[in-house]
Chains A and B, each alone.
Chain A
Amino acid sequence: MAIPMGELITPSSVAGSGVSLSGAKVVFTAATSVSVNGVFDGTHDNYLAVCRATLASGSSVLQAVRLRASGVDDTANNIARQYLAAFSTSVSGARDAVTSAGLIGNKSSGTMSGDHIYFYGPYLTQPTAVRNVNAGNVDSASILDCAFTHSLSTAYDGFTIFPVTSSITGTMTIYGLSQ
């Protein structure tokens, strides 16, 4: 019997200047933030977002993510994050124990970058874990993976991604992972 490993999810709505839906695909152009609502629910425990984007301007600009509920981002310091970075011969890691956003790679203007963002239990009323796997384009190729945990036992139904500066153009699709 063939068992689909995941289900394509259409956001109930999106938010942000330059952000729209094309079917289930989130399309964003020169967006300073990309918010999706109604993507997490009780159907799945875990989710995957696949995102590709270019940055309008700048070099090595961090991109961040926040969970949101009912259209409102959680901006409180409820996140602990650990990153693992490889830039040329420099490999490093660091933990930020109390912060307000997770990281999903960093970008430079120019070539494409991509991210796989795994959400573990965002809609469950328990703390959430998130892991990003990054194909970065800082100096044309780089890695900045991040794992983070969100400490609140709140059911979140969406999330927001945003570059710390500048704007991003690209697409994102979201999947519920089979249980």
Chain B
Amino acid sequence: MSNTGMLVSMKPTSISHSGTSASVNNNGGVDFSAVTSLSLNGVFTSDYDNYLVSMNHYAAATTAVYWRFLLSGSDASGSDYTRQLLRADSTTVAGVRESSNTSQRTMNSDPNFSGCVIHFYGPALAQPTAHRDVSANSLNGARIYEYAGTHSVSTAYDGIRFFTDENWTGNIHVFGYRE
């Protein structure tokens, strides 16, 4: 793909998964099928401050989708993640804050197709990191299920691992914002 524009494809230096299959495609994205864990290594670098993760997916049954930062393939699993949910589900609009978590969440996955982008602010900087989801979630037909969150540790991370309770299928592509 062209690297002359706003976004730069961050092709993983390596990936690993638990489940049926995962592979890096010719565009630098990752296609995965029936996985319960998917690690993308080397997607956050010192070249860029901010990143966009574009993802679309479905699952064998409704499941939460969690993620953690990675450093050299190891999870950042301390109780350092805080998140704020903003949910619009039919006429119900609600929020929840969850503090001191050992992982972060993005929208649930279910047997229908969903998509979201996650904006990451400074994951490869030795500073705390912020992120924000913008989602189109298929659960109950259609809903908005978005998180903003922070990770409080001043460590430069180079990857991200997603994990679920159900077999999970889709595509994830990480982009750096050119600067």
Contacts and interface: CB of A to CB of B under 8 A. Distances in A.
Are A and B part of the same complex? yes
A137 interface: yes
Chain A interface size, as a band, is: 35 or more
B150 A140 contact: yes
Contact of A142 (B4, B122, B148): B148
A88 interface: yes
Contacts of B178: 8, 173
B146 interface: yes
Interface in B110-128: 119-122, 127-128
B132 A140 contact: no
B64 interface: no
Contacts of A48: 6
Interface stretch (B33-41, B67-75, B93-101, B156-164): B93-101
Does more than half of chain B's interface fall in helix, strand or loop, or is it mixed? strand
* Of listed B5, B6, B49, B93, residue having the most chain A CB within 10 A: B6
Given A2-B2, A50-B177, A52-B122, A89 B132 contact: no
| Residue among B5, B83, B94, B134 with max Cβ neighbours from chain A (10 Å) | B5
A87 B97 contact: yes
A111 B130 CA distance: 8
Given A89-B96, A116-B132, A137-B130, A171 B150 contact: no
B95 A137 contact: no
Contacts of B146: 143
Given A4-B2, A6-B5, A133-B132, A86 B84 contact: yes
A134 interface: yes
B50 A141 contact: no
B136 interface: no
Which 8 A-B pairs have CB atoms at the shortest separation, nearest pair first? A4-B5, A6-B6, A114-B121, A135-B132, A2-B2, A140-B82, A86-B95, A52-B121
6 contacts: A112-B150, A114-B131, A133-B134, A135-B121, A137-B150, A141-B97
Interface of A: 2-8, 23-25, 48, 50, 52, 54, 84, 86-91, 110-114, 116, 133-137, 139-143, 171, 173, 175, 177-178
Given A4-B5, A54-B127, A91-B86, 20 more contacts: A2-B2, A8-B178, A50-B119, A52-B121, A84-B86, A86-B86, A110-B152, A112-B122, A113-B130, A114-B50, A114-B120, A114-B122, A114-B132, A133-B132, A140-B97, A140-B150, A141-B148, A143-B95, A143-B146, A175-B6
